[in-house]
């Protein structure tokens, strides 16, 4: 009876682990990177920002096909300059280069964050459909040094808001705020968070840590693996107890 129980524990751990692995391999983590190019950002700050994206993409994204990246820039309007693409060893460098070489959007006094969220969301759905992949997790990641003054309130419920994106299947809308005037209060979704950088010289370091967190790097072992470890620990415990049990029976 005891051995059947132990076998059941081990089997449960193996099945839970297999279920986790199967789930993780079913799709990708999609990270829609949204870049502020409004008038409050100088040309040199734009260059620092895009150099930061270039370096972080090369440093933080694995090439095993488990993640996908897109790029959207915004000012008074928004446009996608890098369609959502699954990252591999063959294309990671070119995706990073696309960010570094991307020109600023039309410079105006307006900042339409909701325009960017909407554009990034639309591209994520179209790219996945035609690319033949799905999302285990979809994140929209906004960097900004200010606050919205055009379009819908990103902290409201209108089209393009963070709440609208979550209601339409996005898991998180996160934010990287640069400087003391950045407003990241619109973050939404289970586990959503914001990161602050003092200025654009500190942007790359903050972005790198943020991407690693969003893509689940350096996280504790999944529950399935913990359950398997528990089963093996129980087996070891009863093996240590077995000689004493045999001695009692012999007496």
Rounded CA-CA distance 216/236 in Å is 31
The DSSP-derived string for 127-139 is HHHHHT--EEEEE
> Is residue 178 located within the same domain as residue 200?
yes
How many CB atoms lie under 10 A from the CB of residue 23? 12
**Cα 184 from Cα 27, distance rounded (Å):** 29
185, part of any domain: yes
In a domain, 45, yes or no: yes
Residue 243 and residue 126 share a domain: no
Tell whether 150 and 242 lie within a shared domain: no
Residue 219 lies in a domain: no
Structure tokens, 79 = 């446009």
Q: What pLDDT does 30 receive?
A: 98
Number of domains within the chain: 2
Asked, for residue 88, whether it belongs to a domain, the answer is: yes
221 assigned to some structural domain: no
Domain that holds residue 7: 2-22+228-250
Chunked into runs of 10 residues, the chain (251 residues) has average pLDDT values of 42 37 63 95 95 97 96 96 98 98 83 97 98 97 96 97 98 98 97 97 97 79 42 40 35 35
Q: What is the pLDDT of residue 105?
A: 85
**For residue 165, which of 147, 192, 146, 131 has the smallest C-alpha distance?**
192
Tell me whether residue 136 is in a domain: yes
- 91 and 125 in a single domain? The answer is yes
- The answer to whether position 36 is within a domain reads yes
Confirm whether 222 is domain-assigned: no
pTM: 0.77
CATH number assigned to the domain comprising residue 154: 3.40.50.410
Same domain, 14 and 58: no
Say yes or no: 74 and 191 in one domain: yes
Do 115 and 12 belong to one domain? no
One domain for residues 94 and 205: yes
Same domain, 107 and 144: yes
pLDDT of 217 reads 82
The closest of 241, 244, 221, 243 to 233, measured between CA atoms, is 241
CA distance 116 to 133: 22
**Inter-CA distances, 197 with 140, 144, 145, 200, Å:** 18, 10, 9, 7
Q: Are residues 234 and 157 in the same domain?
A: no
Per-residue model confidence (pLDDT) at position 108: 67
Examine the domain organization and report whether 163 and 53 are in the same domain.
yes
- Do residue 177 and residue 88 come from a single domain? yes
- Nearest residue to 143 (alpha-carbon basis) of 176, 110, 183: 176
**CA neighbor of 143 nearest in space, from 29, 37, 217:** 37
Question: What's residue 193's pLDDT?
Answer: 97
């Amino acid at each position: 009876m005891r051995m059947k129980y132990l076998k059941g524990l081990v089997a449960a751990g193996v099945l839970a682990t297999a279920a986790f692995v199967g789930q993780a391999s079913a799709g990708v983590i999609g990270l829609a990177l949204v870049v502020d190019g409004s008038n409050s950002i100088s040309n040199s700050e734009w260059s620092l920002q895009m150099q930061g994206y270039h370096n972080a993409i090369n440093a933080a994204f694995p090439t095993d096909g488990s993640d996908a990246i897109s790029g959207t820039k915004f000012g008074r309007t928004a446009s996608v300059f890098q369609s959502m693409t699954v990252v591999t060893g063959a294309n990671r460098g070119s995706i990073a280069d696309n960010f570094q070489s991307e020109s600023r959007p039309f410079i105006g006094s307006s900042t339409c964050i909701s325009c960017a969220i909407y554009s990034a969301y639309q591209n994520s759905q179209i790219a996945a459909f035609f690319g033949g992949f799905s999302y285990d997790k979809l994140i929209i990641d906004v960097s900004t040094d200010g606050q919205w003054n055009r379009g819908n309130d990103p902290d409201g419920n209108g089209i393009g808001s963070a709440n609208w994106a979550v209601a339409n299947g996005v898991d998180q809308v996160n934010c990287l705020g640069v400087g003391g005037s950045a407003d990241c209060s619109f973050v939404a979704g289970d586990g959503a968070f914001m990161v602050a950088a003092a200025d654009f010289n500190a942007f790359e370091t903050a972005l790198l840590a943020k991407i690693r967190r969003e893509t689940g790097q350096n996280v504790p072992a999944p529950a399935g693996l913990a359950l398997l470890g528990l089963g093996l620990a129980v087996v070891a415990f009863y093996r240590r107890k077995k000689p004493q049990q045999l001695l009692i029976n012999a007496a």
